[in-house]
Amino acid sequence: EAGVVQSPRYKIIEKKQPVAFWCNPISGHNTLYWYRQNLGQGPELLIRYENEEAVDDSQLPKDRFSAERLKGVDSTLKIQPAELGDSAVYLCASSLVVVAGGFDEQFFGPGTRLTVL
C-alpha cells in the first residue's frame, strides 16, 4: 500500500513569490494534517481536516497561507506571498479516523523542503 505522497520534494523560490504544496493521503484516511517543521524544531500543526472540512486551522497564518481539500482526498497548501521565514519542511500526515477520547496513528509523508531566498 502506498504511503502519504507529497510533491514537490524540494522547492526554491524568491521571496514574495507564491508556492503550493500537494499531498495525497493514504487511501481511506479521512483525517489529513499539514505540519511545518523549522530547522532544529519538531513539526508544528498548521491545519487539520476531517474529510473536506478544516476542523482546526488556529495555527495557520491566514494572511498568507491557505489550504484546501476538495472532495476530501488530496490537499493543497499555498503560501502567497512567501517570506524568508517560511523556509521550512512542510509535512503532510493522514490518519484513518479521529475518535473523541481516542487516538489513531498518523502516517507522515516525506515532506516538501521549501527554501525562500
Phi, psi of 66 (to 5 degrees): -145, 155
| 44 lies in the binding site for another protein (CB under 8 A) | yes
| 60 lies in the binding site for another protein (CB under 8 A) | no
Instruction: Indicate the residue among 55 and 80 with the shorter CB distance to another protein.
Output: 55
| 103 lies in the binding site for another protein (CB under 8 A) | yes
How far apart are alpha carbons 69 and 84 in whole angstroms? 26
Instruction: Indicate the residue among 19 and 91 with the shorter CB distance to another protein.
Output: 91
CB of 18 to another protein, least distance (A): 24
Cβ 81 vs Cβ 114: under 8 Å:
no
CB of 16 to another protein, least distance (A): 28
| 110 lies in the binding site for another protein (CB under 8 A) | yes
C-alpha cell at 96: 484513518
How far apart are alpha carbons 87 and 95 in whole angstroms? 26
How far apart are alpha carbons 48 and 14 in whole angstroms? 28
List interacting residues with another protein (CB under 8 A).
Answer: 4, 33, 35, 40-45, 48, 55-56, 91, 93, 98-101, 103, 105-111
